[in-house]
């Protein structure tokens, strides 16, 4: 900038002297002096312009050099920062890679999830008839405490393709029982899951639920009259097929073959008395907070050891659930229904029977559930005998691991005396299994 200012001042000074000299020079043509002065001024201007261009070029080069140096400096800082980060990560990895893990610690990762669940109660019934109290799992009129069952559960992946589930227990009489023990191949070709072992049948929706996880204390009367107070199932093979979404958001089909039956609707026997069960589940999302599930089930098998007579069962299950995402911890409503048809051939002739149950439950706050269940069942082995049952209940969930329930049941029968029953139930769980349905 100083050089540019000096050049401009020099030009102005020369112009002044030349003009003054041209005006004062004697005997000369003023035009000749003026033209010569203009030529000299133009020459000086060209020289100054050249010098200015040179100065500008030099300054531009210096500016470019400074910018490049700044960029290089920033790049070097980034490289140094990256190098410091890499060194820090290496320092973290070195101790881990050198840390010694004993074989015992590695084997713990292979251990299954182990859970223990207990189901304790005190109950009182107005009837002392064991035919009434035993199928309903109620104690007699002496009002005593019992442990209905203690279950030990093992669950673990066997390898990346299979998993195993084993549920053992002791009933209220102290007898050992094996509820379920099966292995499952997952995600086979065509979205198929294959299960082999002892399992509860996918007949309806509630049959597969473990006793301690039932939404009420006892099983509905139609299930008790068809299969007894325990779950319906046996030893065999089961296939679960995830179908394309045809007429619902999710379509699922189950096909099962096993032997079992508890000698009520189906006879216990060898491979000649196999039981066949099919179940089609259809799931619908009605809204963000509401879903509907509709299932169709069928089962058939021999009801006598000789294999002369057959029973055919049908079931329609319907579940509607409202669970708002923003209030899930405090509000939920479940409406559950199952309808049963039985066609049983026996020595005295054919018996057709019908039964259903309908339950409505609601969550009242973070810890309380209130609900009721209505049952109707015709006896599947004798004609013109039926019963009604009404069961309200109140549940208190102290936590995920401890639940207490108060339930009242009234049952009216046209073939035997009516009865009232009161139950106080306490369920607890140790381990990750908690109170899962199945």
Question: SS3 sequence, the chain?
Answer: CHHHHHHHHHHHHHHHHHHHHHHHCCCCCHHHHHHHHHHHHHHHHHHHHHHHHHHHHHHHHHHHHHHHHHHHHHHHHHHHHHHHHHHHHHHHHHHHHCCCCCHHHHHHCCCCEEEEEEEEEEEEECCCCHHHHCCCCCCCCCCCEEEEEEEEEEEEEEECCEEEEEEEEEECCCCEEEEEEEEEEEEECCCEEEEEEEEECCCCCCCCCCHHHCCCCCCCHHHHHHHCCCCCEEEEEEEEEEECCCCCCEEEEEEEEEEECECCCECCCCHHHCEEEEEEEEEEECCCCEEEEEEEEEEEEECCCCCCCEEEEEEEEEEEEECCHHHCCCCCEEEEEEEEEEEEEECCEEEEEEEEEEEEEEEECCCEEEEEEEEEEECCCCCCCEEEEEEEEEEEECCCCEEEEEEEEEEEECCCCCEEEEEEEEEEEECCCCCCCC
**Is it the case that residue 359 has pLDDT exceeding 50?**
yes
Q: Are residues 146 and 72 in the same domain?
A: no
pLDDT, one tens digit per residue, over 250-281 is 999 999 999 887 778 998 876 778 999 999 99
Q: Are residues 311 and 236 in the same domain?
A: yes
119 occurs within a structural domain: yes
Q: Residue 434: its pLDDT value, please?
A: 65
**Is it the case that residue 7 has pLDDT exceeding 70?**
no
**The domain containing residue 205 runs over which residues?**
113-430
Q: Are residues 69 and 200 in the same domain?
A: no
425 occurs within a structural domain: yes
**Is it the case that residue 171 has pLDDT exceeding 90?**
no
108 occurs within a structural domain: no
394 occurs within a structural domain: yes
Q: Are residues 256 and 306 in the same domain?
A: yes
Q: Residue 23: its pLDDT value, please?
A: 47
Q: Are residues 123 and 71 in the same domain?
A: no
Residue that terminates a domain, selected from 70, 97, 124: 97
Mean pLDDT of 132-159: 74
Q: Are residues 278 and 150 in the same domain?
A: yes
Q: Are residues 222 and 371 in the same domain?
A: yes
Q: Are residues 230 and 285 in the same domain?
A: yes
Q: Are residues 121 and 270 in the same domain?
A: yes
Of all residues in the chain, what percent carry a pLDDT higher than 90?
Answer: 50
105 occurs within a structural domain: no
Q: List the single range of 24-33, 109-118, 324-333 with lowest mean pLDDT.
A: 24-33
The number of folded domains in the chain is 2
Q: Are residues 92 and 117 in the same domain?
A: no
438 occurs within a structural domain: no
Q: Are residues 83 and 134 in the same domain?
A: no
Q: Supply the CATH number for residue 133's domain.
A: 2.40.160.10
Residue that terminates a domain, selected from 97, 130, 149: 97
Q: Residue 26: its pLDDT value, please?
A: 47
Q: Residue 2: its pLDDT value, please?
A: 45
**Is it the case that residue 137 has pLDDT exceeding 70?**
no
Q: Are residues 50 and 7 in the same domain?
A: yes
103 occurs within a structural domain: no
pTM of the model: 0.73
Mean pLDDT of 401-420: 93
Residue that terminates a domain, selected from 35, 62, 97: 97
pLDDT, one tens digit per residue, over 100-116 is 555 555 555 678 889 99
Q: Residue 112: its pLDDT value, please?
A: 87
384 occurs within a structural domain: yes
Give the confidence band of 358 by pLDDT, cuts at 50, 70, 90.
Answer: very high
């Amino acid at each position: 900038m100083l050089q540019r200012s000096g050049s401009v001042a020099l030009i102005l000074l020369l112009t002044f002297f030349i003009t003054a000299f041209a005006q004062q020079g004697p005997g000369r043509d003023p035009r000749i002096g003026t033209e010569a002065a203009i030529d000299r001024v133009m020459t000086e201007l060209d020289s100054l312009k050249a010098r200015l261009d040179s100065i500008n070029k030099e300054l531009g080069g210096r500016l470019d050099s400074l910018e490049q140096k700044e960029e290089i400096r920033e790049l070097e800082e980034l490289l140094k920062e990256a190098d410091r980060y890499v060194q820090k990560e290496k320092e973290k990895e070195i101790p881990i890679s050198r840390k010694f893990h004993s074989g015992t610690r590695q084997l713990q990762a292979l251990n299954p999830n182990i859970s223990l669940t207990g189901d304790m109660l005190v109950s009182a019934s107005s009837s002392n008839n064991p035919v009434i109290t035993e199928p309903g799992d109620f104690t007699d009129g002496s009002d005593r405490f019992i442990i209905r069952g203690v279950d030990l559960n093992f669950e673990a992946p066997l390898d990346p393709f299979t998993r195993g589930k084993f549920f053992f227990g002791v009933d209220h009489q102290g007898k050992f029982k094996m509820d379920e023990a099966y292995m499952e191949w997952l995600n086979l070709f065509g979205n198929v899951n294959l299960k082999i072992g002892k399992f509860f049948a996918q007949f309806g929706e509630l049959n597969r639920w473990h006793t301690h996880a039932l939404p009420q204390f006892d099983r509905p009367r139609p299930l008790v009259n068809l299969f007894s107070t325990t779950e319906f199932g046996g030893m065999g093979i089961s296939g679960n097929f995830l179908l394309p979404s045809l007429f619902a958001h999710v379509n699922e089909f189950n096909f099962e073959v096993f032997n079992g039956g508890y000698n009520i609707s189906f006879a216990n026997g060898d491979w000649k008395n196999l039981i066949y069960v099919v179940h089609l589940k259809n799931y619908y999302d009605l809204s963000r907070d509401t879903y509907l599930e509709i299932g169709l089930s069928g089962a058939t098998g021999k009801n006598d050891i000789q294999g002369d007579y057959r029973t055919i069962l049908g079931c329609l299950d319907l579940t509607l659930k409202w669970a708002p995402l923003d209030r899930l911890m405090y509000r939920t409503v479940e409406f559950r229904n199952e309808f049963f048809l039985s066609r049983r051939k026996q020595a005295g002739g054919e018996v057709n029977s019908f039964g259903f149950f309908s339950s409505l439950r609601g969550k009242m706050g973070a810890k309380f559930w209130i609900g009721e269940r209505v049952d109707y069942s015709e006896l599947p082995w004798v004609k013109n005998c039926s019963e009604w049952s009404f069961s309200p209940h109140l549940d208190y969930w102290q936590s995920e691991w401890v639940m207490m329930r108060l339930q009242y049941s009234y049952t009216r029968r046209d073939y035997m005396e009516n009865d009232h029953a009161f139950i106080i139930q306490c369920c607890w769980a140790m381990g990750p299994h908690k109170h899962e349905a199945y």
